[in-house]
Amino acid sequence: MTTQTLTEVRQTNALFTDLLISGQLHKAIANQGWETPTPIQSLALPALLDGEDVVGLAQTGSGKTAAFAIPLIESIDPKARGIQALVLAPTRELAAQAASDITNLSRYRPVRPVVLCGGISIGSQIKTLSKRSGGASVVVGTPGRILDHLQRGTLKLGSVRYLVLDEADRMLDMGFAPDVGRILSHTPEKRQTALFSATMPETIRGMVKKHMRSPKWLAVESEAPTVDTVEQVSYRVEGREKTSALRLLIDGAKEPRVLVFRRTKHGSTKLHRQLERAGYKVGLLHGGKSQSQRDKTLASFAKGRTTILVATNVAARGLDIPNISHVVNYDLPEDVETYVHRIGRTARAGKEGIAVTLVGETEVKDFDKIKRSLPAKVRESCLPNAA
């Protein structure tokens, strides 16, 4: 396995303008305001543009979406028929986000990805697929729904040349391994495959061995670059006082845009109700909501119509909402990985942000365990009193 380090990267590909890609893509990248590739982009872009298979060990927030989206767009032949590229992502939100990044970057070279996820009527997706003259060239979706289409015969993957497995570790955690295997068996063996994952457990290595051809293994230093600029604070709070502690934090913030994590659907619903009754503009996001409800909630929060979003871990990964001032762990995350993903929702794109963990009496030991695995220190503090 060859891995390159962050330092080596900085010496290699310094600018986007050094990349051999079309003028339209250069223009779309410049429109995004990006000048230098992120470390994972510096490593993955040249390899993928060269047609190599790539395994990228990269966290969310590292810029990995553009790392696979730029070569994807470049690889699309506007004259060819059938689906040329397929992106598999674990959740609807991540699929929607990948599709939106692809759309933004293909502004001058439209590839118009079709999103196929659960939560949306399959009938309307079938209509979209059949309506596209010349077919859809790019499909982005979640494994369950993609497989459903394959089994109905409404999706054909025989012409796929470029395949992406995004957040592969999470897809496997969610039990999608058999679905992913079945989907891959519908694609040609002679294709280019990119796999991105925040961790590299044995199961992923097995998957790489089975489905990829002598891939390049790329890794950037493990801490997510965005997490460096997150100030981490914890407060000892007893169970029932957590809501008042949260309100103190919100009321004390200058321009609050607060993402609050709860562990369960029930817990998040309850907290949402309490905050709404107290007069806050607050949204609610959990796995039980329909796709359109989730989209609306996210849009309201992103646009600032709501200033607080109460969510379960569905919002922990990949969500890219700028200017989140605080991430609050109302309930402790299950493990250090979830902690890092949650707090990575703030301090995006070099901005500053605060991650607050409210630690109840029964959570002290578990939080100590999380803290021990963190590279940066979590400051312990006392809550200001209401006065």
- Is residue 353 at the binding interface for ligand AMP, with CB under 6 A as the rule? no
Instruction: Between 41 and 297, name the residue whose CB sits nearer to ligand AMP.
Output: 41
Q: Name the closest residue to ligand AMP (Cβ).
A: 65
Give the amino acid at 152: R
| Least distance (Å) between residue 6 CB and ligand AMP | 14
Q: What contacts 332, CB < 8 A, 6 or more positions away?
A: 263, 357, 359, 360, 363, 366, 367, 370
Looking at residues 318 to 337 of the shown chain, list those that interact with ligand AMP (rule: CB under 6 A). 318, 320
| Least distance (Å) between residue 68 CB and ligand AMP | 9
Q: Give 17-85 as a DSSP string.
A: GGS---HHHHHHHHHTT--S--HHHHHHHHHHHTT--EEEE--TTSSHHHHHHHHHHHH--TT--S--E
- Is residue 349 at the binding interface for ligand AMP, with CB under 6 A as the rule? yes
Nearest 10 degrees: CA dihedral of 281, 286, 291, 297? 10
* Spatial contact of 196 and 58, defined as CB atoms under 8 Å apart: yes
Nearest 10 degrees: CA dihedral of 261, 265, 270, 276? 70
Closest CA to 257 of 314, 319, 317, 313: 319
Window contacting ligand AMP (CB under 6 A); options: 61-69, 141-149, 228-236, 241-249: 61-69
- What are the distances in angstroms from CA 372 to CA 132, 198, 368, 369, 378? 52, 19, 6, 5, 10
* Distance in angstroms (rounded) separating the CA atoms of residues 270 and 204: 37
Window contacting ligand AMP (CB under 6 A); options: 36-44, 152-160, 230-238, 363-371: 36-44
| Least distance (Å) between residue 221 CB and ligand AMP | 15
- Is residue 41 at the binding interface for ligand AMP, with CB under 6 A as the rule? yes
Window contacting ligand AMP (CB under 6 A); options: 55-63, 203-211, 215-223, 244-252: 55-63
| Least distance (Å) between residue 170 CB and ligand AMP | 13
Window contacting ligand AMP (CB under 6 A); options: 33-41, 135-143, 166-174, 332-340: 33-41
Instruction: Between 63 and 90, name the residue whose CB sits nearer to ligand AMP.
Output: 63
- Is residue 170 at the binding interface for ligand AMP, with CB under 6 A as the rule? no
Instruction: Between 155 and 227, name the residue whose CB sits nearer to ligand AMP.
Output: 227
In our burial notation (b when 16+ CB lie closer than 10 A, e otherwise), range 334-370 reads eeebbbbbbbbbbbbeeeebbbbbbbbeebeeebeeb
- Is residue 91 at the binding interface for ligand AMP, with CB under 6 A as the rule? no
Window contacting ligand AMP (CB under 6 A); options: 30-38, 105-113, 148-156, 197-205: 30-38
Residue from 65, 91, 307, 313 touching ligand AMP (CB under 6 A): that is 65
Task: Work out the angle between the directed axes of helices 39-49 and 64-75 (0-180°, nearest 10).
Answer: 20
Residue from 25, 37, 93, 257 touching ligand AMP (CB under 6 A): that is 37
Instruction: Between 53 and 320, name the residue whose CB sits nearer to ligand AMP.
Output: 320
Instruction: Pull the structure tokens for residue 346.
Output: 């703030």
- What are the distances in angstroms from CA 241 to CA 80, 296, 330, 366? 61, 30, 11, 19
Residue from 42, 60, 75, 297 touching ligand AMP (CB under 6 A): that is 60
Residue from 21, 25, 66, 140 touching ligand AMP (CB under 6 A): that is 66
Give contact residues for ligand AMP (rule: CB under 6 A).
Answer: 34, 37-38, 41, 60-66, 318, 320, 348-349
